[in-house]
Amino acid sequence: MNNLALLAQAIVAISIVIVWVFRFDNIVKEFKQYGLSDLTRTVVGSAKIILATLLAAGIWFPSLVLIPALMMAFLMISAQYFHFKVKNPWQKRVPSLFLLLLCLFIAAVSLNLIV
């Protein structure tokens, strides 16, 4: 697999863990701002941690990468939607946009669309 894709997988996985574990108080505030329930936050957080774990494991087992990358991309598109819905400033939208682009890049490499 492409070394840049491996780096992208590590960046996505580490970023998700940092945000959802070490900055969880910020996540709680954001989900309240979006009008989403605690259950929704728990499901999204669990999904992101699982997908991040699979992306990290995909560094050694490339067959694990495609589906988690696409699912994480979907979650990042959803994050973009909610940022726009509540009219968050651009700087709050950039992290999920960057992770979305990384996930699409990872998926493209996994599909051999980018060598």
- Residue-wise pLDDT tens digits, 38-48: 999 999 999 99
- Residue-wise pLDDT tens digits, 49-71: 999 999 999 999 999 999 999 99
Largest Cα–Cα separation, the chain: 41
- Residue by residue, DSSP assigns 56-86 as HHTTT-GGGSHHHHHHHHHHHHHHHHHHHHT
Provide the pLDDT for residue 58. 97
Decide: pTM greater than 0.85: yes
Question: Is 115 part of any domain?
Answer: no
Question: Is 26 part of any domain?
Answer: yes
Range of the domain at 70: 3-110
Q: What is the mean pLDDT of the chain?
A: 96
Question: Is 33 part of any domain?
Answer: yes
Count of domains forming the chain: 1
> Which of 36, 111, 42 lies closest to 73 in space, CA to CA?
111
